[in-house]
Structure 1
Amino acid sequence: MVIRPKQREMIYKSKEQWHWFDCPRQLGTNSPDTPVENAVIDTVELREGDVVLAMSDGVIDNLWGHEIVENVSKSVERWEAGEGGQASGPRKDGANGGMTFVAEELVNTAKQIAQDPFAESPFMEHAIDEGLASEGGKLDDISVVAALCRRNTT
């Protein structure tokens, strides 16, 4: 997913790839899915200040896209305002340590929903659409890598 925090907008989201509901493609060891046959390559025009997120399904099963955008945007604002630990330089756009803060905040939010048996979640909504009984968040691996797009000054 690519988020433009200053405008609070999602400018790109990859399409989920499933064999069937709750059985995602996996481009890893011991999987029949292969990068050559199953990987998707997209081109996205980025701007300085955009945040690129690589997330596990434990995040997107528990948070809707608008919640991710809001969480990242607020985390960048909080980082710029001095929250989230020591910076190794200017905090503009979430630079100099801010992406660690952004990733940690997103993981924590997804984890809260995953552990809430009464939460409404995207996974619950999809399960109901498939005719399956489901309530609350979905316990799963929750991983986030956040990267800030910056101009190369070298």
Structure 2
Amino acid sequence: MNRRTTLAAALTLTAGLTLSGCGGDSAPKLEATDAYMPQPVTQQMAGAYFTVKNNGDTADKLTSVTSDVAKHISIHKTVGNKMEQVDSLAVPANGALRLGSGGNHLMFMGLKHKPAKNDVVTVELHFATADPIQLAIPVKAADYQPKQ
């Protein structure tokens, strides 16, 4: 091996070790907060909102939500005045995914019972990479608005 090849190999190895050691565990570090569900006005559907904070250096995606309170829970985003169902929502690295009235939200379809104010609905949030999160969602008054 000539000197140039040896130097290149050493630099490549050092760069690889530096990158692999960078940040230690690069998995998303997720937590869900600020959850609420306005009391549904009908037996057919309800909405829910919360924030998923990611304190990790790797992005993730909310891919599905399950609960025994509804036959189906879908993830929606709002673009302009139009809401559309999506397969996932991004949870940025060192950032947050916020679900709120007029924006991204969950839709509970085919409620098995109509949640009342002060009830708690339990859901499980599923992600592309991170482990699922159990989340207790308090049911608030139908006109509830969170403090900004």
Q: Give the TM interval when normalised to the shorter protein.
A: under 0.3
What is the TM-score of this pair, normalised by structure 1? 0.26
Q: Which structure has more helix as a fraction of its residues?
A: 1
The structure whose Rg is larger is 2
Identify, as 1 or 2, the structure richer in strand: 2
